[in-house]
Structure 1
Amino acid sequence: MGEHIIKMPDVGEGIAEAELVEWHIEVGQIVREDAVLAAVMTDKATVEIPSPADGKVLWLGAEIGDVVSVGAPLIRLEVEGEGNVAAGAAAPAAAASKPAAAQPADEDDGAPPAAPAQAAEPAPELKTVPKPQPAAKPPITSSGAGAGTVAMAPGAPRGEHEKPIASPAVRHRAREAGVDLRQVRGTGPAGRITHEDLDRFFAGKDQRPAAGGLVADTSVSEIKVVGLRRRIAEQMALSKSRIPHITYVEEVDVTALEELRGKLNAEKRTDRPKLTILPFLMRAMVKAIAEQPRLNSRYDDQAGVIHQHGGVHIGVAAQTPTGLVVPVVKHTEARDLWACAAELSRLAEAAKNGTATREELTGSTITITSLGALGGVVTTPVINHPEVAIVGVNKMMVRPVWDGSAFVPRKMMNLSSSFDHRVIDGWDAAVFVQRIKSLLETPATIFIEG
């Protein structure tokens, strides 16, 4: 038997390190060639690392949330044959249950392993995905002494510091629900927690009701902020700590716009996408920016320089299974209504399935944020640093509006827009929003050039 060391591969684009966002394996598990071992994130792209060989996991070199340099040892496998570790090279104990990076240097079991020799074979091919997915097969275990697992009765209670056994998909679902898996009874092999176990837990079948039928929940779950969620948190903290926001809210009568949109969709060619309200808003923003070009800027507050852009690159905040991303429609000023709709549809789909490139997710000069049908009456959008403006779309509702002689039903929608008050004065912000309002309420003017 030999050892095969898997290093953090080069994920491209000159990236020197990546964040580990999920393990799909654990120490002692038997894995097959091409099985997914881990998922790492660089910028907003998540990459799966497959196994280059069959083997048994001896050691994991990082914990979830750690930033690992390219070329650093990540996983050690026990494999048939000589492996790719030089003879006599030090190796961590196979029974280690936590990453070497977390082991104190003065423990009795010796110093951390020496750096392995250069791998004899190329790094495994990487697969880019929208979010980490569980391995196709459950871990293979054995009842023999060398199985690397400890037999336990299904559903046996776990100690406070004992790690529950569950697939990545189950762990992800529990994290989303704020559930501590140590509180869930597992009915699978070796006490593994399944989706059915989670369902029973959510239904309250694992809890003993008190006399009144209600149960006190004293659990506290620790959810580490990693991956895209950590990047979002950092960006929001940067924006709110460095940008003095001013938010301006105005209601817009979109009755005529909705009539036009419905007619255009009914008569559109089959090769054209369905129009939403966003392409109209994008074209209205282009015309308003032509009159107030400073709104289309990025402010370098450290250098004290405003970079005013000629090209209007509109970022559109999109919710994905892994969190919020902002694909960018480049050069909106050079696209007509249908071209804006087509590019927006393409980018939104790429963002949701995880195939959007770094170029497609960066470079915006102004941003639109919309919660669609959940848009609420008013929001206070956070500016996408270092931009100076963001336009928020709220929920469209039918409201009674006084027309001078009677109340009539009109389709109304609020725009909630935020501006960097260091660069944009309140008057200029109001003029910008009022110009967009005028264009949307008289949609024919959106198509008038000059």
Structure 2
Amino acid sequence: MAKFVFNMPDIGEGIAEAEIVQWHKKVGDTVKEDEEFVDMMTDKATVPMESPVDGKILEIAGEEGDMVSIGSMLVVIEVEGEVPEDVAEEAPAPAPAPAPAPKAAEVEERIEVETSDASDADDALAADPKPEPLPAPTPAPELKQQAKVLATPAVRKRAKELGVDLSQVKPSEESRIRHGDLDQFLSYNSGYGAAAKTREDVEKKVIGMRRRIAENMAASKRNIPHFSYVEECDVTDLEVLRAQLNASRGDKPKLTILPLLITAICKTLPDYPMINARYDDEAGVVTRHGAVNMGMAAQTDAGLMVPVIKNAQAKNLWQLANEISRLADAARNGTAKKEEMEGGTLTVTSLGPLGGVATTPVINRPEVAIIGPNRIIERPMYVTGSDGVERIEKRKLMNISISCDHRVVDGWDAASFIQALKKLLETPALILVD
């Protein structure tokens, strides 16, 4: 028997440490050659580690969420006989007198999850005061659902845990049941099934992608003096144009408003180069980019990710629609490549139908601006016709938000940029003119 020490290799460019995201093996388990035994995360990507030998795991470097220095021990494997010479030669050598792997947070963070906005299926409910014992409710007769109940997996899981029949919950909008609808049902049915039981607080360690997001957002707010500007745009004609394009699209992808918005942004940016820029605050250098590498914030099960549409200014509406769909899918299923997740010069973030009246998005550092389209709503407005007569019409309105780095972008420049963008959105024929 011999012991093989697998040291943490250098899996990134100039990184000093990596985070343990998930162990696939534990102490005492056997591992085969080329079998993945742990996932490690750097600032750029998550990389699976493969064993170069067959054997039994004797020791591991730490728990999920711990940081491991490059060159320090990651795992110790017991092998039959001697360690093969080729494996011993290829094994990463330990760094001289490596310091113990630092922990990103010595104090465990407590997460208090709001029941009205739980998005992860394993999020827990905040504790309620213990209620007075209630008599066991009379079991309700089983109801045959006349139509399929629409709800997210998180809502379904929560309803199941609470013993709530979703067919008895009335949705507040459209036909999809949300957490708020479930809360309202429980408030009027406090003795319903398992809903009357006491719910406990749950502590959840912040690791992996969630910790990266937390660190990046904290660094952005700490280092960047944000300011936001919001303007209202009449997108009635833009929506008419979008419907016409979709009606004749053939086998092309269906257009959302996002490709049209990105095209309009790319046409506006040449006159406002300070918006499409990155700021290296350590070197004191602002780089105004010619190409528009458009970051696209996408919500995934692991958290918010920002894949990048490279050279967005050179793509037509259909190419943008393809890239938006492809990159969003890649981010959600974890197949996005490293180069597809970096190099952005400006980011667009949208909550889609969940978008509110206005947002104040956080800048994706080291970029200097981020643009957020908000929800489209219909509202009566005074409109002057070609005959000069003013009348009331139903119009589709959407607010556009922008947050900027005030060290690089002045308020006047941000407002002027949005006003120029508004002109394109309200006169959509100009978007298609070269």
Instruction: Specify if TM > 0.5.
Output: yes
* Aligned: 1:82 with 2:62: no
Query: Paired residue for 1:446?
Result: 431
AA aligned to 1:84 is V
Task: Choose from 328, 341, 344 the match for 1:364.
Answer: 344
Residue deviations 1:99-138, cap 9 Å, x none?
xxxxxxxxxxxxxxxxxx99437579xxxxxxxxxxxxxx
Query: Against the structure 1 CA distance between its residues 29 and 322, is the aligned structure 2 distance closer, same or farther, given a 3 Å change threshold?
Result: same
Query: Paired residue for 1:25?
Result: 25
Distance 1:175 1:63 in 2: 20
| Residue segments in structure 2 that go unaligned for 5+ positions in a row | 93-119, 128-156, 164-190, 385-389
Task: Choose from 268, 275, 292 the match for 1:288.
Answer: 268
* Within-5 A mapping of 1:136-155: none
* Within-5 A mapping of 1:249-288: 249-270=230-251, 272-288=252-268
Query: Against the structure 1 CA distance between its residues 201 and 317, is the aligned structure 2 distance closer, same or farther, given a 3 Å change threshold?
Result: closer
Query: Paired residue for 1:49?
Result: 49
Contact 2:382 2:391 in 1 (8 A): yes
Mean Cα deviation higher: 420-429 or 367-376: 420-429
CA shift for structure 1 position 10: 4.3
* Aligned: 1:230 with 2:198: no
Distance 1:213 1:246 in 2: 43
Distance 1:366 1:290 in 2: 13
Residue deviations 1:407-443, cap 9 Å, x none?
4332222111112223222222221111111111111
Distance 2:402 2:321 in 1: 22
Query: Against the structure 1 CA distance between its residues 174 and 400, is the aligned structure 2 distance closer, same or farther, given a 3 Å change threshold?
Result: closer
Distance 1:274 1:218 in 2: 45
Query: Against the structure 1 CA distance between its residues 176 and 220, is the aligned structure 2 distance closer, same or farther, given a 3 Å change threshold?
Result: closer
* Within-5 A mapping of 1:368-447: 368-403=348-383, 405-447=390-432
CA shift for structure 1 position 311: 2.0
Contact 2:126 2:199 in 1 (8 A): no
Residue deviations 1:387-421, cap 9 Å, x none?
22111011222223333555433222211111222
AA aligned to 2:7 is K
Task: Choose from 264, 276, 279 the match for 1:299.
Answer: 279
- Indicate the percent of aligned positions where both proteins have the same amino acid: 53
Query: Against the structure 1 CA distance between its residues 264 and 382, is the aligned structure 2 distance closer, same or farther, given a 3 Å change threshold?
Result: same
Query: Paired residue for 2:161?
Result: 203
Contact 1:3 1:82 in 2 (8 A): no
Contact 1:43 1:358 in 2 (8 A): no
Mean Cα deviation higher: 54-63 or 226-235: 54-63
Distance 2:210 2:326 in 1: 24
Tell me the SS of whatever aligns to 1:229: helix
CA shift for structure 1 position 331: 2.3
CA shift for structure 1 position 382: 0.7
* Within-5 A mapping of 1:175-214: 176-177=123-124, 203=161, 214=196
Q: Figure out how many residues of one structure are paired with residues of the other and give that number.
A: 347
Query: Paired residue for 1:72?
Result: 72
Residue deviations 1:282-323, cap 9 Å, x none?
111122212222222222334443322222222111122222
CA shift for structure 1 position 381: 0.5
Contact 2:34 2:53 in 1 (8 A): yes
Residue deviations 1:195-242, cap 9 Å, x none?
xxxx7997269xxx9xx9834445441x22222222211221121112
CA shift for structure 1 position 361: 1.7
Mean Cα deviation higher: 413-422 or 395-404: 395-404
Tell me the SS of whatever aligns to 2:88: coil
Contact 1:5 1:84 in 2 (8 A): no
Query: Against the structure 1 CA distance between its residues 213 and 432, is the aligned structure 2 distance closer, same or farther, given a 3 Å change threshold?
Result: closer
* Aligned: 1:239 with 2:239: no
Query: Against the structure 1 CA distance between its residues 12 and 341, is the aligned structure 2 distance closer, same or farther, given a 3 Å change threshold?
Result: same
Distance 1:350 1:322 in 2: 13
AA aligned to 1:203 is E
Distance 2:426 2:158 in 1: 52
AA aligned to 2:412 is W
Query: Against the structure 1 CA distance between its residues 76 and 83, is the aligned structure 2 distance closer, same or farther, given a 3 Å change threshold?
Result: farther
Tell me the SS of whatever aligns to 1:311: coil
Contact 2:357 2:374 in 1 (8 A): yes
Contact 1:33 1:54 in 2 (8 A): yes
Tell me the SS of whatever aligns to 2:196: coil
Contact 2:124 2:202 in 1 (8 A): no
TM-score normalised per structure 1: 0.68
Tell me the SS of whatever aligns to 1:403: strand
Contact 2:37 2:50 in 1 (8 A): yes
Query: Against the structure 1 CA distance between its residues 339 and 74, is the aligned structure 2 distance closer, same or farther, given a 3 Å change threshold?
Result: same
AA aligned to 1:339 is Q
Contact 1:319 1:325 in 2 (8 A): yes
Distance 1:435 1:427 in 2: 12
